[in-house]
Chains A and B, each alone.
Chain A
Amino acid sequence: MRIGLFVPCYIDAFFPAVGIATLELLERFGHEVVYPRDQTCCGQPMANSGFNAECAATEALFVRNFSGFDYIVAPSGSCVHHVRDNFDAIEQTPQVTEVRKRTYEIVEFLHDIQKVEALPWARFPHRVGLHNSCGTLRGLRHATASELHEPFFSKPLDLLSKVADIEFVTPARPDECCGFGGTFSVFEEVVSTKMGYDKVSDHASAGAEYIVSADTSCLMHQKGCAERIGVHMKFIHIAQILNGASS
């Protein structure tokens, strides 16, 4: 398949390894992965703050960059949630709706479309705590949310359980928000960072060496919080583990 790789702005600038892992992982499954070089952002930062008109041009650019692919894949749950569920600042032409519905977050692409059965190259001999971001958990429905009465399922755990030697720990509040919340992280920074401190402390108490997530933005926030309060914790994107990173 011909896949358009969307590498959101903060991943491009601060976490290139996440973009590289995503690209390599898709290539391992034999896909032609194209990185449109004029890409910037999905528009979420403005839309999330209520400024829908201000994100129209960015959304239009996204559609120009990503039209014509079989799928568009990104290593960021919240961006994909925006594209799929809130991307309405521009006229909903067939071209726009086509791009929106073909946009997938990497975990759901591997689980639902690729239907991955084995990851023979992946081994991660560490104790990890899984952070299901709110965008993936309650937006994209990666997994059972603890608030709902429904049978258990978890796409990220399905994939991670195919990784050799990985060990999981469960924090006391597995799906409590970590406090990133997009622009919330700066407009309400005291509450946001308190939530982050609590999140990384909870994983540390559970014995995690790593926090793994499908949302780099949450990890960026949690890393900043952990470093500030001196919690020793490592952070890694799920695509890196699935692609065979060993640490």
Chain B
Amino acid sequence: MSNPVGQAGDRHAMLHPELRAEHDGDAIIRNGQRLDHAEGASTPLHSQPEKQPRGARIHGSRPVDQAEAAARFIAAPQHEKMHDERLWDLRQKRDREMHGIPEWEELRSLASAIKEHTLTRLDQYLEQFEANARSNGITVHWARDAAEHNRIVHGILKDHGAKSLIKSKSMLTEECGFRAYMASVGIEVIETDLGERIQQLDNEDPSHVVVPAVHKLRTDVAEVFSKTLGTDPENSDVHYLAEAQRDATRPLILAADAGMTGCNFAVAETGTFVVCTNEGNADLSANVPKLHIASIGIEKVIPRLEHLAVFVRLLSRSALGSPMTQYTSHFRGPRVGGETHIVLVDNGRSERLGLSEFWTSLKCIRCGACMNTCPVYRRSGGLSYGATYSGPIGLIIDPTFNAKKYSNLPFASSLNGSCTNVCPVKINIHEQIYAWRRELVRRHEVPMAKKAAMKAAGELLSHPAAYRAAIDVADAALAHLPRFVIYNGLNAWGKHREVPHPPPQTFHSWHQANRGGAS
């Protein structure tokens, strides 16, 4: 165990000199620790590191049990507390940034309208983007689905005799199962985003679209690095770990045969594309090797460069509560002697565009604000969803990939609506969650027991006499039954909270006695 708890002075001394601010008024201190998304938030509270809870158990296409995995996450209190507080901190930083922009709500409306305009003319803008990208010297490929994407990229790499590939974080490549595919064809992939690299070394999916290893304590990272990079398992100092990772990965980056990035925005009028990062890792991936391949979801296109300004103002403020990402890199075409390839990927997007209740989910710019604000996500961990996309946006996108497998996800929400309010492109996320529940019932993807219970409830609640008798029985039961009958495994209400105390009389009988019951 590296450093004791509660000594903010020692902690400050440990910070790299460049990170020490003279007037550190913005720093949030909890339990004597500086809380910051980039570092330091995960200092363990006890000498024995708590074991990292793993994500949902996957059994083919059987429905993922998010509630079961969430319960295991909550059963690891250090992880749950750190995760909740770290993401809530991002939400608060986002609020502060929002209050600095008087026209914030107008910006959201504008961004939403630009996306709506583009998505309803997607074919035109994609063809314009393709034509302009080609005239910039980029080779453009089209992939119908994940498998075609992976084959195309493999083909490009094969043509160049490439055996190793450095890549920046891309949720689209996660969607495509890209790393697993590359492993199967013998190509080494090195993630250049630090969080994503941690997840790759731990053989685990990203748990968040922006901060992929946010569910890990730094003791978890120390364990992963000790096994994979040979670091000291007892040393969980963030700077030591970051340095060790850098030392191990830089040579691989410099020697890589090809580089790959995702894309945040593809501009139709210029044929250029933009990648936003905080680590500059996309620039390494794109600029170190001579071959650059970019995977781009077809919904990423925007009409003109002027529209980019709207999204760039919203993206990082919503995601991390910072005014801009550290790097906003524009890629126009290959350098002299190099090659740039783009793979435009559908993978279910056209089909989603045709769903009248759900098509606006394609407006998503993957900022993760809905995850940061979601009280269920913060307490469940992103891996509990067992899907590429977790949190509120995941609940409405994942079922489009596999309605059966992700049939439980739309129920992992209290429908509180905070996600909708933070969404920078104004997707009505919680209303779509509600609509997905209806859709899944329509498609018979909800357990029979739940259906039977709801049918019975509907019967009871539409028959006043039977209902009245049931209320009286329930009150009498709670008043007279012994505790062990009420608090057992079958009563989900009573497992972790007390049932209400029955009053001497119901409102109904009070009214009968005091207002004569006439109506």
Contacts and interface: CB of A to CB of B under 8 A. Distances in A.
Interface of A: 7, 9-17, 19-20, 23, 34-41, 43, 45-46, 48-52, 54-58, 60-61, 86, 134, 137-139, 145-150, 173, 175-177, 179-182, 184-196, 198, 220-221, 223-225, 227-228
Main secondary structure on A side of the interface with B = helix
B511 interface: yes
A191 to B, nearest CB: 5
B440 to A, nearest CB: 6
Contacts of A182: 414-415
21 contacts: A16-B507, A20-B507, A37-B464, A40-B464, A43-B458, A49-B411, A51-B458, A54-B457, A55-B458, A55-B461, A149-B101, A149-B104, A150-B105, A181-B413, A188-B376, A189-B492, A189-B495, A190-B70, A192-B414, A193-B495, A224-B498
B86 interface: no
B497 A224 contact: yes
A57 to B, nearest CB: 3
B450 interface: yes
A54 B495 contact: no
B140 interface: no
Contacts of B450: 49, 187
Given A9-B461, A147-B418, A190-B70, A16 B506 contact: yes
B451 A51 contact: yes
B300 to A, nearest CB: 25
Interface of B: 66-67, 70-71, 74, 80, 84, 88, 95, 98-99, 101-102, 104-105, 373, 375-376, 379-380, 410-418, 420-422, 430, 434, 436-441, 446, 450-451, 454-455, 457-464, 467, 471, 474-475, 492-493, 495-503, 505-508, 510-511, 515, 517, 519
A9 B464 CA distance: 11
Given A13-B471, A35-B515, A224-B493, A48 B498 contact: no
Contact of B95 (A51, A57, A147, A195): A147
Main SS at interface, chain B: helix
A194 B418 contact: no
Contacts of A175: 418
Contacts of A7: 507-508
A177 B418 contact: yes
Given A16-B503, A16-B505, A49-B437, A138 B416 contact: yes
A14 B500 contact: yes
A138 B467 CA distance: 31
A23 B80 CA distance: 43
A219 to B, nearest CB: 10
Nearest to A145: B421
Contacts of A224: 493, 497-500
A52 B438 contact: yes
A39 B463 CA distance: 9
A157 to B, nearest CB: 19
Sorted nearest first, the 8 A-B pairs with minimum C-beta distance are A181-B414, A50-B437, A224-B497, A57-B462, A147-B421, A138-B417, A54-B458, A177-B416
Given A16-B505, A51-B441, A190-B496, 20 more contacts: A14-B475, A14-B502, A16-B507, A19-B507, A34-B519, A37-B508, A38-B464, A40-B461, A40-B462, A45-B461, A50-B439, A50-B446, A54-B458, A61-B462, A185-B493, A187-B492, A188-B412, A191-B67, A224-B500, A228-B497
Contact of A184 (B379, B414, B495, B506): B414
Most chain A CB neighbours (cut-off 10 Å) among B417, B495, B505: B417
B461 A138 contact: no
Contacts of A181: 413-416
Nearest to B462: A57
Contacts of B438: 50, 52
A230 B410 CA distance: 32
Contacts of A15: 500, 503
A188 B508 contact: no
A61 to B, nearest CB: 5
Contacts of B440: 50
Contact of A49 (B80, B98, B454, B498): B454
